[in-house]
Amino acid sequence: MKKILIALSLFLSFNLIKAQDLVKKIPSNAFTVATIKGDNVFKLMFVKDFNESFVGKKLLTETSKSLDKNFTSIEDFGINLEKNMYYFNQLSDSITYNCFLIPIKDANKFESLIENKEKKFTQQGDIRTMVLPDSTSIIKWNNNMLYFVTGSIKSSFFADSAKSARYGIKDIRFMRDDAMATDSVAVDSAYATTEAPMVEAVDAPPIVEKVKVQKKPAVKKNTKKPVSRKKSGKKKNTKKAKNTAKTNPDFDYSTTSVTDTTGDMTPPDSIIDEQYDTYQQERAEQDAKKKRLAFTWMTAQSDHIFNGTYQSIETNKSYTSSLDNKAIAELWVSSLQDVYNSIAPEFGTYGKAGLMKGYGSLNAKLFMDDKSFRISTGMELSQEQADSYKKILNRKLNKKFLKYVNSEKALGFMSYSIDTKAYLEEFPKLLKQTYGSFMGAKMDEEMNLGADLISLLLDEEAVSKVIKGDALFVINGLNTKEVTYTSYEYDDDYNQKEVTKTKNETLPDFLFMFSSEDTRLINKLIKYGVNKKLVSAEGNIYKIMEKKSPIDIYFQIKDGIVFFGNSLTEMQGIQNNQYSSNKLSKIHKQLLSQNNFSFLFNAQNLVGKVPASEIGGEETAKKFNSTLEKMGNVYMKSNPVKGRLVSADISAEIPNGHENALKYLFSLIENAAK
């Protein structure tokens, strides 16, 4: 019994520790969540090491200087470094909140950070609040956490007078009565011509109309931007008008009054000035109102985060399933479709919802370990789309390709494999899903028709036999080739004589291949090319007769594979079945054969291979080689579709002699700063 109790309490305390993770404070409707995992970071690098590192020292001395204190460790900031730090944002139609949640270890230390700056904070219970100058952000903290929020009002929301009126906010535009009657272009042109006849300005309505407060929502759509444009334009013109008046002492006011039908004597420039002043004043008032409103909302939001009870993001399955406890940092965006929809109103009429339909959440994770950096990205799709992708990606790279990769020499390769038939069948569907709503419901029929038309015109089956859908591009090292060039020699009289010299050029040998079951079409094409003298044949190897090309390109068909390459010897080797490197490393084999897409760049195989004379001298060559030496292998690969998730990884190995990727990164930064 006792044991059970102990176990239970242990379990509970474990949960308690976990409960303190600030993720609980992130509301379930958060749109983006970014995490830095303190414990994982400081597993790779002790706090002490960090303090002593170049970056750490820089950070400490800079903060010490700016705050007039003496920090010796990042622990002095009072932050709990073993816990996760979060950023999230929340979007609504009227305001966007950008929020940070930072775990606190020692609130006093944190307070001492800010108190010197003569910033005051208020305290209620153990919750302390500080408002940053000009009230754009709020910081709230207690002994365990710190919350920082900054909100920005959405202009599109307040452009809608019905909505903004609810908050007592008016939308202000600078416009005069007559201009309103016509259009804004007329206003501009009227003022652009101030230089010439002053009379023109007199056309303005003499009675100083109060700055127009727009009430017609129809005109509202183009609010903020046009306003600011008009504002600046107007200002300039007003000044101009003023100047003209001043520099022109002979200005005849009587003329003004003659043309001035209503008999108002106010000079036109002052009318505009006055109008503009009123406009600015009113605008500033409305802006202040918006700011106050934003502050009220932010205050409520931050109180809610601290004291309210609500569902946390942990109830969001998409979020929780995106996590990986080995990651150093994580990013999650709720859905691509939502991203689009949230910015869509800013696009005006084009911002139709529904574009990017089917694209769900996005996530990215950063990993660092003793061997490499790795970024893993993923995107959730709708079931329908995921099924399409599964069909398309249902192909593996032709195994015969593998013997043409030489891991010992290869500078890099890139491969992909898709099912051409499935691709051609699924592509119109995907296109329709993604862009269909953009075209509008009216276009639905046309979209369907288009999709059918493609199917009708293309015999997917037949096409997929010609191009099966897998391809490999590989560079198996560098080769030296002798090339001729023209130079000059000089006789006893220094008369010029043209001579042909030779030199060696180092060029990479590439090989590109794709599978083809049905080569009849390609053979016909070759025949056509030969007839038209676009291609020359040397046995079964063909050369492309392209004058412009700086290199020779050969191609051939062999064992259901179409090869392209720039080395005749390699091509001949393939033709005679003598080309087989059998030097494919296990890692490369896995990379190529298990993924639909793979990429490798092996910088090490390039180190010292390019003669200095061809890079531009010893010095450049040295730099070039040392950069390469610092680079490990860089890989990219796509992962198989899992459920509704498509994902891909990029990883970069770190060179030998470094403890782990984080420390290596720090050393790189240090080197770069030197």
Partner 1 sequence: MNLKQFYKLLLFIFLIPVLSSCFEVIEEISMKNDGTGDVTLTINLSQSKTKVASVMLLDSVQGYKVPSKQKIQQELNEAVSYLKKSEGISNVKSTSDFNNYIATISFSFKDVSNINNITKNILARQKIKATNTSSYTYNKATKTFSRKYQAIGTAKTEFNKLKAKDKAVFNGATYTSIYRFESVVTSSSNPASNVSKSKKAVMLKSSITDLINAKINVSNTIQLSK
Nearer to partner 1, 495 or 582 (CB): 495
Minimum distance from CB of 599 to partner 1 (Å)?
13
- 506's enclosing H/E stretch is strand 496-515
CA 43 to chain centre: 29
Indicate the residue among 404 and 664 with the shorter CB distance to partner 1: 404
Cβ proximity to partner 1, 121 vs 624, nearer residue: 624
Between 54 and 512, CB nearer to partner 1:
512
For residues 379, 383, 385, 389, the Cα torsion angle rounded to the nearest 10 degrees is: 80
| Cα 637 to chain centroid, rounded | 19
Least gap, CB of 221 to partner 1 (angstroms): 39
* Closer to partner 1 by Cβ: residue 310 or 488: 488
Q: How far is the CB of 531 from partner 1 (least distance, A)?
A: 18
Residue 456: CB minimum distance to partner 1, A: 25
Nearer to partner 1, 284 or 483 (CB): 483
For residue 231, give the DSSP letter.
Answer: H
Report in angstroms how near the CB of residue 374 gets to partner 1 at its nearest: 25
For partner 1, the closer of residues 500 and 577 by Cβ is 500
Smallest separation (angstroms) from partner 1 to the CB of 284 = 44
Q: Which of these, 93, 153, 141, 137, lies nearest to 305 by C-alpha position?
A: 141
Q: What is the CA radius of gyration of the chain?
A: 35
- Closer residue to partner 1 (CB): 350 or 494: 494
Give the integer Cα–Cα distance in Å for 130 and 113: 13
Cβ-based nearer residue to partner 1, 371 or 481: 481
Nearer of residues 206 and 469 to partner 1, judged by Cβ: 469
CB closer to partner 1 out of 114 and 522: 522
Asked whether 49 and 173 are in contact (CB, 8 A), the reply is no
Interface contacts to partner 1, rule CB under 8 A: 475, 483, 485-488, 490, 492-496, 503, 505-508, 510, 546, 548-551, 606, 610, 613-617, 620, 623-624
Q: Which residues lie closer than 8 Å to 28 by C-beta, 6 or more apart?
A: 310, 311, 312, 313, 314, 315, 316
Burial class (CB in 10 A: 0-12, 13-18, 19+), 489: exposed
Which residue's structure tokens are 């109180």?
303
Q: Find the shortest distance in angstroms from Cβ 491 to partner 1.
A: 8
- 110 vs 514, beta carbon nearer partner 1: 514
- Percent helix, percent strand, percent coil in the chain, to nearest 5: 45, 25, 30
Tell the smallest beta-carbon distance from residue 394 to partner 1 (Å).
23
H/E stretch holding 512 reads strand 496-515
Closest CB 574 distance from partner 1, rounded Å: 19
Cβ 560 to partner 1 shortest distance, Å: 21
Minimum CB distance to partner 1, residue 464 (Å): 18
- By residue count, the chain amounts to 674
Side-chain half-sphere CA neighbours of 284 within 13 A? 6
HEC-encoded secondary structure of 303-328: HHHHHCCCCEHHHCHHHHHHCCCCCC
Find the DSSP H helices in 203-323. Answer: 217-220, 224-247, 253-259, 268-307, 317-322
Q: Which of 151, 161, 137 has its CA nearest to residue 286?
A: 161
- Cβ burial, residue 673 (10 Å; 0-12/13-18/19+): exposed
C-beta of residue 328 within 8 angstroms of C-beta of residue 45: no
Minimum distance of partner 1 from residue 469's CB (angstroms): 14
- Nearest CA to 643 out of 385, 349, 341, 406 is that of 385
| Residue 499, SS3 per DSSP | strand
Residue of 674, 655, 651 whose CA lies nearest to 664 = 655
